[in-house]
Structure 1
């Protein structure tokens, strides 16, 4: 099945949809370091990137997608999220970095059978509620474009009237489902909440819902209190539940083993990597696995404990945030995650290179879609599309 990937970033969503069976016909990414990452992996024939187009297009605003009309199964991407991010400046629809209109244009021109877009959870906050509804209605009715004299709020009212009218000639229409997903619930060793928008063209007649969560925090707590988690990792009794007595009490109160798999932890993700600070010689042979000095802990920014899913990696407006993206050891010391460690927390394969200096590489990873989460959602979409196709035959 063919796909077009917009706002590809470091490639997390691209890898996920590729593993789900989609082949990107075009990939668009504006940011230079992300472009270098995508091209470096494509030219190196990295396993997930070798089927990507040889050319990575730069500016979605210059791209014409009309030649692909009716020939593409999926349009996907993560429109720049800074306008809605907790770490951004919160300008939303007034921010020129808001690329949702370009995402909607691509859907309008391509008319894919389905689309997958994702963004930060901050988009769903109360202060953006009207614009959030505006985004969803544009995705549902991509041909109902704003007129020259309409601002976004006036266009929203027209979309609302169109949506509720029983007499409207709807034209191109998508059935949309939007939901905030926690990556940790899908096998990613990171508590990362993202809102996903999944739409199917109405004429496909597809019934769909997001895949059920496969992992849970309760299952992790059970494994730690009643299973062999600590023994598996050879954790001494002195280090267990370090600075987590409240969590330990909660775990020990569990009386029944949960049905889900345990959340993956930082320790699970990094178990086979040498410590770059304590074993620099051993770590030096691994791409992007070099110690970065300067990490410090302060109130509200205390790093990610080893025996929990990591806190969400941050991109930062002005570089890597000082108290984020770091490991908190049981002895109280902290250090920054390396690029390779951060890539693992985002479930990128070890063979995948992230280009740029440390701060730029971390920014790419802080903005990325976790590969495993992207794959889970994309596989579910692919299954629905294949099932609909076989039903028609």
Structure 2
């Protein structure tokens, strides 16, 4: 059994994905009491993905990691994203919520065989490029700590000199990062996030991010070449969307030749796909009332930049505002132009949480937890790929006892 330590666990999305990938958590650390209450409530209900989590409510910087007895295979987490969020103050290292230094320190202490960190797309903004490069260097060489009185810029230059020297002595990691769109991996949401993955140098592991499994082109083919998408949802021909003008010529040529795109990936999952089987909370309030976290929330307003998510595409990125839900975001737009807020249960489906997983707090608080979460399915894909490499290494070490040990 591979084990892990989960930092900045939130409502549990990343941790649940790693559980599905076969990791057993030795510690799960989260400071927010509402998110902790969500995990505790699901533990009380015996949810299998979190039932045995050793949850610790508190600051990741205050936890005693050296008290963990077993060597740790993976450290994972999503450091708070507000310092880098496109909707935040863009403070990066100046923002007291920047927890990348804390994450690096945990890696230094635990010396895991690998780590997985997730953050917002804004981390790749040009204005953050220098600091992001610094974060990557710190993760590559976690033992070269920042000295007392040393600025982060001076520390970065020292790390860069060490890297260019070619020295790989001590604790080092091979670090890669990539911007992943959750929709490309079967999540019904256009959610772009940066994943940073590192494997300890002495393992000699070479790893790359999993290939995407879903595509926009496959969805277009299901809609406008075969009609499979509309037929599956029993949408009449007069209610079906017309293809966008940019695709019309390509679709017409394929149709004339009776061909489908050569893309072997599956169709992007849409809002309609995700919500299948749930009653409309506005039109069927009595049926919706018996489903946990599925009550209608009035008051949605659409305006520029806050236009909601069309029913027959993956949802726009769910967001977590300072007070729950920002404006007209986190909302459904029907084909007739009307709309409403997503219920918490619908948002949970868009984040690929199981229906049996419940959330603690008022609607706005639950939506904040969901807006900050890592989609369970995406975490599973990345976690399973990392687990596969570590397991392959373990089998190779058993077959060749003389190889370097972990």
Instruction: Please indicate the TM-score interval, normalised by the length of the shorter structure.
Output: over 0.9
Cα distance between partner residues in 1 of 2:211 and 2:339: 35
Residue number among 342, 366, 372 corresponding to 1:361 in the alignment: 366
Report the equivalent of 1:391: 396
Using structure 1 for the length normalisation, give the TM-score. 0.96
Report the equivalent of 1:49: 50
- Provide structure 2 residue ranges, at least 5 long, that are not aligned to the other structure: 255-259, 399-406
Cα distance between partner residues in 2 of 1:250 and 1:95: 49
Map 1:69-80 to 2 at 5 A: 71-80=71-80
- Provide structure 1 residue ranges, at least 5 long, that are not aligned to the other structure: none
Report the equivalent of 1:194: 193
Residue 254 of structure 1: how far off its partner (Å): 6.7
Figure out how many residues of one structure are paired with residues of the other and give that number.
390
Residue 294 of structure 1: how far off its partner (Å): 0.6
- Cα 1:343–1:169, aligned 2, differ >3 Å: closer, same or farther? closer
CA distances 1:295-326 after superposition (whole Å, capped 9, x unpaired): 11112221111110110001123431111000
Cα distance between partner residues in 1 of 2:274 and 2:191: 15
The question of whether the paired residues in 2 share the 8 Å contact of 1:70 and 1:111 is answered with no
Report the equivalent of 1:24: 25
Verify: 1:269 aligned to 2:270, yes or no.
Answer: no
- Cα 1:251–1:373, aligned 2, differ >3 Å: closer, same or farther? farther
Residue 237 of structure 1: how far off its partner (Å): 2.4
- Cα 1:9–1:374, aligned 2, differ >3 Å: closer, same or farther? same
3-state SS, counterpart of residue 37 of structure 2: helix
- Cα 1:254–1:261, aligned 2, differ >3 Å: closer, same or farther? farther
Report the equivalent of 2:89: 89
CA distances 1:107-158 after superposition (whole Å, capped 9, x unpaired): 0000011110000010011010001101111111110110111111111111
CA distances 1:75-124 after superposition (whole Å, capped 9, x unpaired): 00000000000111111110000000110011000001111000001001
Cα distance between partner residues in 1 of 2:314 and 2:136: 31
Cα distance between partner residues in 2 of 1:312 and 1:360: 17
Map 1:62-141 to 2 at 5 A: 62-68=62-68, 71-141=71-141
3-state SS, counterpart of residue 61 of structure 1: coil
Cα distance between partner residues in 2 of 1:169 and 1:233: 56
Map 1:224-373 to 2 at 5 A: 224-227=223-226, 228-241=228-241, 245-246=244-245, 249=248, 252-253=251-252, 255=254, 256-257=260-261, 258-373=263-378
3-state SS, counterpart of residue 190 of structure 1: coil
CA distances 1:316-355 after superposition (whole Å, capped 9, x unpaired): 2343111100000001101000000000000000000111
Residue 50 of structure 1: how far off its partner (Å): 1.3
Cα distance between partner residues in 1 of 2:109 and 2:45: 32
Report the equivalent of 1:58: 58
3-state SS, counterpart of residue 28 of structure 1: strand
Using structure 2 for the length normalisation, give the TM-score. 0.93
Cα distance between partner residues in 1 of 2:46 and 2:252: 50
The question of whether the paired residues in 1 share the 8 Å contact of 2:26 and 2:68 is answered with no
- Cα 1:328–1:247, aligned 2, differ >3 Å: closer, same or farther? farther
The question of whether the paired residues in 2 share the 8 Å contact of 1:241 and 1:248 is answered with no
3-state SS, counterpart of residue 75 of structure 2: strand
3-state SS, counterpart of residue 210 of structure 2: coil
The question of whether the paired residues in 1 share the 8 Å contact of 2:323 and 2:365 is answered with no
Cα distance between partner residues in 1 of 2:307 and 2:249: 21
Report the equivalent of 1:171: 170
Report the equivalent of 1:220: 219
- Cα 1:291–1:4, aligned 2, differ >3 Å: closer, same or farther? same
Verify: 1:211 aligned to 2:216, yes or no.
Answer: no
Residue 357 of structure 1: how far off its partner (Å): 0.5
The question of whether the paired residues in 2 share the 8 Å contact of 1:69 and 1:110 is answered with no
Verify: 1:155 aligned to 2:168, yes or no.
Answer: no
Cα distance between partner residues in 2 of 1:296 and 1:60: 38
Q: Which moved more, 1:299-308 or 1:212-221?
A: 299-308
- Cα 1:215–1:236, aligned 2, differ >3 Å: closer, same or farther? same
The question of whether the paired residues in 2 share the 8 Å contact of 1:298 and 1:323 is answered with yes
Give runs of ≥4 in structure 1 deviating > 6 Å: none
Residue 63 of structure 1: how far off its partner (Å): 1.1
Report the equivalent of 2:14: 13
